Structure 1
Amino acid sequence: MNTIQLKKGSERPFHQGRLDIGRDDLSDSVFLKDGEMVRLTDYLGRFIGYAMMSFEQKAYGWILSTDENIEIGEDFIRGQIVAAISERTPLYNQDDTNVFRLFNEIGDGIGGLSIDYFNGHLFITYYSAGIYKIRNLVVHVLIEELTPESITEQTRFSIDGRMQIQNNHVTGNKAETIQVQESGMRFNVNLNDGPMTGLFLDQRETRKSLLKNKHSHNETFLNLFAYSGSFSVAAALSGMSTTSVDLAGRTTELITENFNVNNLKTDNHTIHIMDTFDYLKFAERKNHQFDTILIDPPSFSRNKKKVFKVERDYPKLIKESLKILSPDGQLILSQNLETFSLNQFKKQIDQTLESMGIAYTLKDVKGLPKDFKTVKGYKAGKYLKVVTIQLGND
C-alpha cells in the first residue's frame, strides 16, 4: 500500500475528523490511481488514516478508517455493508413503507457508493470508476445477505473526460415498473430507465408531513419542479387540489400513473408542462392563488439559453411565487446543494423576504431521513434542507 502525504497546512481538519480528501490537500497526486487504497499521513509522517482514492465530483478520495491497526481489504468492505444492512433491520418490518436507503456513502463508511431498497429490488449507484472496481464484491455481499429480487447498478462518473450516467441490470427479474409503498402512499419506480428512478427517497419526511396535515378541497397546492408528482400525491391525499409544473415532457405520464395507483381522481388536479418562471408569470396574469407552494428545484439546470443555479436564482423563485401565494399562505422551500449550508439557506430566505417587507413565521425545518446516514467528518453530506414558512406573524 502506497503512502501519500497531505500538504503542510492541510492537516488540521483531518486531525479533527475530516473524511473527504480534495486534490489540493495532497502534496503529490500525480501517480495515484482511481480506486487505489493508500495510507495517508500529514507532512510530518503522522498517520491520518487509510483512504480510497475516488476521483469524483464530491471528493478526490475518502478516509475509510483512522485505525492504523485495521486491515483494509475485502473483509473490511464486507463488514461495512453488513453493518449498514443490520442497522436498517427495523425498516424491513414496516407495514406502510418498503423503500429506503440501505447504504449511504461515507455515512456508512465507503464514499462514492449508495444502495437503495425498492420493495425487494436493489439499486446500486457508483460515483467513481475507482469505487466501481469493488462492484463484484458489493453484489456478492448483497446477494448473500438479502437474496434480492433483482439488482440494478448505475454508474455516475467520467469516462474519457465526459460525465456519463448508465444503468445496467445485474441479476434477478428485470421489472420495467416496480410499485413501492411509502407512508401508505404508492409510487411507480423504474430502475432501468435513465438517471432518475421516479422517486427521490431523501424527501420522505416532506411527503409524510404533507400527507399528515389534512386539508379541505378548497385549499390549493402548487408543486414547482414536480417531476413525478410525489409531493402532489401526498397533498392530494391530504385533501388539497393540486397544480404540478415541470418542463419535462414525461411529467404528465408519471404524475398520472402515480395518481392512478393511489386511486386518486384527476379532478381538481392539473399539470403544466412548461418552464417554472414562465408558469409563475402565467399564474400571476390569470390571478391564480395558492395556499401552499412547494419549491424543490435542481441545483443546476440548462433550458435552451437559460441557465438556472440554485444558489443564485432561488431568491427570484421566492419573489415570483409570493405574487401568487395567499395572504396567510405557506411556502415549503427545498434546496439540495451540498456546498450551501442550512444557515446560509435560512439567511437567503430571510434576506429575500425582508427586502420585500414581508413578515413570516418559521414553521418547520427538515433534513435527511435517518436512513441517509451522515457523519461529522463530512458536513456537506447533510445536503438536504427543507424550510417551511408561513406569511404573517403568529
Structure 2
Amino acid sequence: MRIIMKKVKVTKRAALQLTKGYPLITSQDLINEADQLVAGWVRFTDPQGNYLGTGYLGKQNKGCGWLLSQNQEELIDQDFFCDLFAKAVVQRQQIDNQLTTAYRLFNGEGDGLGGVTVDVYDTFALFTWYNTTIYQQRDIIIAALLAEAPFISGAYEKNRFDLAGLPESQHIYGAEAATPLLVKENGVTFATYLDDGMMTGIFLDQKDVRGRLVDGLALGLNVLNTFSYTGAFSVAAAMGGAASTVSVDLAKRSLAKTKEMFEINGLSLDNNKIVVMDVFEYFNYAKRKKMSFDMIILDPPSFARSKKRNFSVAQNYGDLVEDIAGLLVTKGILIASTNAANVSFDKYRNMVETALRNQGRAFKRMETHRLPADFVINPHFKEGNYLKVLIYEVI
C-alpha cells in the first residue's frame, strides 16, 4: 500500500539548496507558511511541483524541518531508521571502549536524521528530541536503535521542546542507570546523571580537547578553568599532570559537582581549587591579587546572564579575552572555545586574535579543534560543525 504524503512547495532558492543535499528547512523556505503545521512525512517540491526529497516539518530552535531522503521510492519507516543506526554503529567502532565509554552514537542530520541525537553512556542510550514531529515517531526510532545496538541495556530521553505534561528528562526503557553513572573518557572517570534536567555532567563534544589535556598539554602548569560547570577540563588537566587548577563558575551546584569529579579520580583538592563566583568578578579579584596562570580555559555558554551583565559570544567574546589577557604569563596557553553556531569560524578567530592584539599580546596558534569524529557532520551543512576551539601560545 502506497502512503500518500502531503506535498510542500519550497522557494526556488531552497530548492537549489535541497538539490545539493542541504538538509535544513526554514520557514522562509516555504512558499506557503501555513505548511509549517503539516504533520507526518512530507514530499518537498520545487515551485513547479517537481520532487526534491522526503522529510518532515517540525518547529525547533534551528529551523522548522529536515530533509531525510532524496529517493522518492524510499519509505520513512522502521527499516529506514534501522539502516541509519546500523551505519552509525559501524562508524563508531573505532572508539576504544576500554578508555572511552561515553560518546555520540547518532548525530542528528550528520547521520541522516535531523531532530534527534543519541548518546551512549556506558550501556545506556540517551535520546535528545528537538521537535514534536520527530518525537511522535519515537517508538519506531527507539525500536530501530535497540535492534541495531543490542549492547544498550536501558534508555533515557531529554526533550528540547515544549509539550504540556511532558517532562524534560525521563527514563524510557530497560534498566535504570546508577546515580551517578560513572563513565570513562580518554581513561578519565566522569560522574554523569542521565535523569537530572537537561545536563548530564559532561559535554561529550569536548572529548578531543580534554584528551589533549590528559595527554600532557597542561603538564606542570597552573590552570584557570572559567565557566567550569562540573570541572571536566580541570580534572583532565590534573590527570595530565597540571601543577594546580582553579575552577570558576557562578552556579552553586558546581562546587559539589566538581568536587565529586576530582574525588572519583583520586585527586586531592589541595592543589585543585573550586570557586563559586561570577567569572567576571573573579577576573577583577585575580587582578587585585596580582595572580597569574600558565593556562586559561575560556569556554563560556553562548549566552549567559548574571545580576550585573548579559553576555553573548557573538557580541562579547572579544571582551572576555581582553579581560583575561593580563592574567596569562608570558608563553602562557590560552584555550578559547565556543559552541555558538551563529558565529562563523573566521569571525570567532578574528574576535579572539583582535582582542589579544588590543592587549599588546603576541601569539602563535598551536592547535585548532572542531567536533570529534563521533559527532558526524553532514558535508552539505557546515553549521552543524558548531564547535570551535583555538589553542594559542601567548607571548
TM-score (norm 1): 0.94
In 2, Cα distance between equivalents of 1:302 and 1:134: 36
In 1, Cα distance between equivalents of 2:261 and 2:372: 22
| 1:117-140 superposed Cα distances (whole Å, 9 cap, x missing partner) | 001111110011111011111222
CA displacement at 1:159 relative to structure 2? 3.3
Following superposition of structure 1 onto structure 2, how do residues 336-375 of structure 1 map, counting pairs within 5 Å? 336-375=339-378
CA displacement at 1:255 relative to structure 2? 0.9
Change (3 A) 1:356 1:215: closer
Q: What is the aligned counterpart of 1:98 among 98, 101, 110?
A: 101
TM-score (norm 2): 0.94
Other-structure match for 1:127: 130
Following superposition of structure 1 onto structure 2, how do residues 180-329 of structure 1 map, counting pairs within 5 Å? 180-213=183-216, 217=220, 219-240=221-242, 241-304=244-307, 306-329=309-332
In 1, Cα distance between equivalents of 2:106 and 2:39: 19
In 1, Cα distance between equivalents of 2:251 and 2:159: 23
Contact 1:34 1:129 in 2 (8 A): no
Contact 1:296 1:333 in 2 (8 A): yes
In 2, Cα distance between equivalents of 1:126 and 1:110: 11
Other-structure match for 2:170: 168
Other-structure match for 1:54: 58
CA displacement at 1:185 relative to structure 2? 0.3
Change (3 A) 1:9 1:378: closer
Residue 152 in 1 paired to residue 152 in 2?
no
Q: What is the aligned counterpart of 1:116 among 114, 119, 127?
A: 119
State the SS of the aligned residue for 2:184. Answer: strand
In 1, Cα distance between equivalents of 2:330 and 2:184: 35
Following superposition of structure 1 onto structure 2, how do residues 68-83 of structure 1 map, counting pairs within 5 Å? 68-83=72-87
Contact 1:333 1:387 in 2 (8 A): yes
Following superposition of structure 1 onto structure 2, how do residues 12-23 of structure 1 map, counting pairs within 5 Å? 12-23=16-27
* More off after superposition, 320-329 vs 143-152: 143-152
In 2, Cα distance between equivalents of 1:29 and 1:51: 16
CA displacement at 1:96 relative to structure 2? 1.0
Other-structure match for 1:66: 70
Contact 2:248 2:277 in 1 (8 A): yes
Number of residue pairs matched? 388
AA matched with 1:338 = A
State the SS of the aligned residue for 1:260. Answer: helix
In 1, Cα distance between equivalents of 2:167 and 2:359: 41
In 2, Cα distance between equivalents of 1:292 and 1:378: 33
CA displacement at 1:224 relative to structure 2? 0.3
- Structure 2 spans left out of the alignment, 5+ residues: none
In 2, Cα distance between equivalents of 1:54 and 1:121: 27
AA matched with 1:231 = F
Other-structure match for 1:86: 90
In 2, Cα distance between equivalents of 1:40 and 1:172: 37
In 2, Cα distance between equivalents of 1:171 and 1:71: 26
CA displacement at 1:342 relative to structure 2? 1.2
Contact 2:371 2:387 in 1 (8 A): yes
| 1:125-182 superposed Cα distances (whole Å, 9 cap, x missing partner) | 001111101111122223333242221111111337x9x8710111223222100011
In 1, Cα distance between equivalents of 2:224 and 2:359: 21
Contact 2:298 2:337 in 1 (8 A): yes
| 1:328-365 superposed Cα distances (whole Å, 9 cap, x missing partner) | 11100001111212111111122222233321101100
Contact 1:34 1:55 in 2 (8 A): no
- Structure 1 spans left out of the alignment, 5+ residues: none
4+ residue runs of structure 1 moved beyond 6 angstroms? none
In 2, Cα distance between equivalents of 1:346 and 1:165: 38
In 2, Cα distance between equivalents of 1:122 and 1:10: 34
Other-structure match for 1:391: 394
In 1, Cα distance between equivalents of 2:217 and 2:315: 34
Contact 1:4 1:38 in 2 (8 A): yes
Contact 1:62 1:111 in 2 (8 A): yes
Contact 2:78 2:144 in 1 (8 A): no
Residue 3 in 1 paired to residue 33 in 2?
no
State the SS of the aligned residue for 1:10. Answer: helix
State the SS of the aligned residue for 1:67. Answer: coil
In 2, Cα distance between equivalents of 1:37 and 1:215: 50
State the SS of the aligned residue for 1:55. Answer: coil
Contact 2:322 2:358 in 1 (8 A): no
In 2, Cα distance between equivalents of 1:143 and 1:17: 28
Change (3 A) 1:214 1:319: closer
State the SS of the aligned residue for 2:137. Answer: helix
Across the aligned residues of Structure 1 and Structure 2, the Cα RMSD in angstroms comes to 1.8
In 1, Cα distance between equivalents of 2:325 and 2:359: 10
AA matched with 2:206 = Q
Residue 142 in 1 paired to residue 150 in 2?
no
